Structure 1
Amino acid sequence: MLSYIKFHIKHRCFNFKKTKTFSVRNTISLILIALTLVACNSKADISGKLESVVEKGTKIYLLQPENLKDVAASFFGKVIDSTVVNSDRSFEFNNIPKTKEPVLLEIAIAVPEKASNYLQTDNQATANFMPIVWKSGKSLKINAKVDAFQKSFSMEHPSEVNKALLALRDVNQKAYKTYLEGKHWELEDGSQLMEKEHAILQYQTELINFADSTPNLIPALVATRWVSTANDYERVPEFLVRQCETWKKKQPNHPWAKQLCTLSEPANLPVLVGDSFPDFKFPMITKDTLSLKEQLGDKLTIIDLWASWCAPCRIENREVLVPIWDVYHDKGLQIIAYGLESDEPAWKAATERDGANRWHQASHLQGDDTPFLKKIRVKTIPANFILDDKGVVLAKNVHGEALIDWVKNYIKN
């Protein structure tokens, strides 16, 4: 660079001696050219250093999710670069996308015997990847531990959106440690299934609260994907609807906001809180056919989805619904239970054994391939919908003591 400047200055000075036309303006032009060349040759990169023991040949990958469903999903992100960690534990990516707009990327440590785009999503404490937002012309310097990559990930001088992603990471890690890490549930007989579901919902709620409060689209979408990397939002569909409403106003042209709204279309989600529950003619255990709207309680109706082979459903019958029925049926409570049954004798025996023959029992006796579940777009049991006297959904999937308290407080007030 200096030789380039000297050459041109010398050349200009030579002309100056002969023509006397050299000026301050020429000198300034040369300086500006030199500064421009320096800027052009400066390199914006993604680089960093890994702490802890790094095995020789350890690889680190740079992934780019191409669609919303690819975010935080194993085997879906596109590998755009890779590098081997140096002996001094440093690394640097060279094939970084050049885009006008900021783009979400994922940095991932290679996991032995796994594909290069494998992301560890089951155990957040050992997650091997971290989402970042890259903007052309801005270098990113990061630091992390190999065996706790996401948990230990840090960044020098992060942008506001990367600060939000780091804050989301902290929420994710804390919620996982609080509700899920080290927990074991007895699922063989299904007796602790509801405990596990409750713990998962508490974990998800922390991420949902973050997504609902952040002013940044990309962190909100990452939080949405972390709520369910399997794209299963059956238990929290209202959250998807809220996110769609937020971002179609703020960033309506962003392709991922559009994909989010497609995901949250009513046809893709169960009946929502605030919706009128669809009327339906039920084939009853008594061989009658009853219309839902004709059987609504004076104050509340619980639509209970269960099965004779479902252990937590049976526990809910005996320990929750029977006591609720005995106390509140005469005060305006109705229960309509729908069974995912194919064995009529087993169904009838279960209702009698549990005391669930007190309230309406319905089933098409088609197992889980039933028109009713298809109509309300539900695939998982136990499940319930709590309706007011006009059939509007007030709450969903409230179970155990929480359901007893909910009914008690509503009827009392």
Structure 2
Amino acid sequence: MKKQLIFGLLFIVAYSCYALCFRSEKSFDSKDFAPEIKLVGTNGKVRKLSDLRGKLVLVDFWASWCGPCRKESPNVVEAYQKYKSQEFKNADGFEVFSVSIDKDASAWKQAIKEDRLSWKNHVMDKDGIASANYGVSSIPSAFLIDGEGHIIASGGELRGIQLHIQIDKQLK
């Protein structure tokens, strides 16, 4: 009886964690502009999402302590390397704008180094402002933004091979 109860509880916890990884409380229409993100980067200087207007941008919410986020990192690195110099329907090039919800800056910077996140747009959302503006209630969570600043894809459709499929749809 105890084994069944423990198994049942573990199943409920595992299912809840899985479900949370693929939901976002806020929904965006394809005509919605991406909310501005203006946060401090790894070098201590402010980075703004709007500075990347004209590029196809993946806004990726993650944390150093998030196992699923770290597991997805090689896929994001591969996409960045593959698409950074490509031309898209309304964008010239591809960028990643990483938004960490870490509270510990050293752990955040160490994870960037360990996972070889070679793009330069890394910011830390330790107060949760950007996460709230995007309706992020769990991580990993991602948003694909076109060259005009519109959110064109989000959530689970930007994980694994689906990320590449969504980016391929935007190629010229």
Q: TM-score range by the shorter chain?
A: 0.7 to 0.9
Indicate which of 355, 369, 374 corresponds to 2:116.
Answer: 355
Please give the root-mean-square deviation of Cα atoms over the aligned residues, in Å: 2.6
1:379 and 1:390 map into 2 onto residues whose CA distance is 26
Give secondary structure in 1 for the equivalent of 2:77: helix
Shift of 1:291: 1.8
Q: Considering fraction of residues, name the structure with more helix.
A: 1
Partners of 2:13 and 2:133 in 1: CA distance: 32
In the TM superposition, residue 197 of structure 1 has moved relative to its aligned partner by 3.8
2:170 alignment partner, SS class: helix
Residue identity opposite 2:167 in structure 1: V
Residue equivalent to 2:34: 277
Instruction: Give the aligned residue type for 2:72.
Output: E
Return closer, same or farther for 1:186/1:355 CA change in 2, 3 Å cut-off. farther
Match of 1:313 in 2: 69
Trace 1:99-118 onto structure 2 (pairs within 5 A).
none
Q: Which residues in structure 2 correspond to 1:282-293 (within 5 Å)?
A: 282-293=39-50
Superposition pairs of residues 338-353 of structure 1, within 5 angstroms? 338-353=99-114
Letter in 2 for 1:393: I
Aligned pair count reads 152
Separation (CA, whole Å) in 2 of partners of 1:278 and 1:323? 26
TM-score calculated relative to the size of structure 1: 0.34
Rounded to whole Å, the distance in 1 between the matches of 2:19 and 2:149 is 26
* Whole-Å separation in 1 of the counterparts to 2:113 and 2:61: 17
Q: For structure 1, list consecutive stretches of 5 or more residues without a partner in the other structure.
A: 1-122, 124-183, 188-192, 202-233, 236-268
Match of 1:375 among 133, 150, 153: 133
Q: Does 1:400 align with 2:160?
A: yes
Contact 1:302–1:335 under 8 Å retained in 2: yes
Q: Which amino acid aligns with 1:410?
A: Q
Question: Cα distance, 1:390 vs. partner?
Answer: 1.0
- CA deviation after TM superposition for structure 1 residue 297, in Å: 4.8
User: Counterpart of 2:170 in structure 1: which amino acid?
Assistant: Y
Q: Contact 1:296 / 1:334 at 8 angstroms: preserved in 2?
A: no
Q: Tell me, in whole angstroms, the C-alpha distance in 2 between the residues paired with 1:186 and 1:355.
A: 31
Q: Go from structure 1 to structure 2 and tell me whether the alpha carbon gap of 1:316 and 1:361 turns closer, same or farther (over 3 Å shift).
A: same
1:140-219 to structure 2, matched below 5 A, reads 196-197=18-19
Q: Which runs of 4+ in 1 moved over 4 A?
A: 184-187
Structure 2: how far apart are the matches of 1:315 and 1:185?
A: 22
**Share of identical aligned residues, percent?**
23
- Asked if the contact 2:47–2:121 (Cα under 8 Å) also holds between the matched residues in 1, the reply is no
Task: Name the residue aligned to 2:5.
Answer: none
1:373 is paired with a residue of what secondary structure? Answer: helix
Aligned residues of 1:386 and 1:396 also touching (Cα < 8 A) = yes
Q: Equivalent residue of 2:152, what SS?
A: strand
Q: Distance in 1 between matches of 2:27 and 2:45?
A: 26
Contact 1:285 1:362 in 2 (8 A): yes
Q: How has the CA–CA distance of structure 1 residues 378 and 394 changed in structure 2, closer, same or farther, with 3 Å as cutoff?
A: same
Distance 2:54 2:111 in 1: 24
User: In structure 2, the residue corresponding to 1:330 is in which secondary structure?
Assistant: coil
Tell me by how many angstroms 1:388 deviates. Answer: 0.5
**Which amino acid counterpart does residue 98 of structure 2 have in structure 1?**
A
1:374 counterpart letter in structure 2: A
1:330 maps onto 2:88 in alignment: no
Q: After superposition, where does 1:210-229 map in structure 2 within 5 Å?
A: none
Match of 2:90 in 1: none
Residue 410 of structure 1, CA deviation: 2.0
> Do 1:273 and 1:396's aligned partners in 2 also have CA atoms closer than 8 Å?
no
TM, length-normalised to structure 2: 0.78
- Gap change, CA 1:321 and 1:185, over 3 Å in 2: farther
Amino acid paired to 1:348: K
State the alpha-carbon separation in 2 of the partners of residues 307 and 372 from structure 1: 14
CA contact (8 A) 1:273 1:395 kept: no
Q: Relative to structure 1, is the Cα distance of residues 285 and 272 closer, same or farther in structure 2, using a 3 angstrom cutoff?
A: same
Give the Cα–Cα distance (whole angstroms) in 2 for the partners of residues 349 and 297 of structure 1: 30
* Structure 2 alignment gaps of length 5 or more: 1-7, 87-92
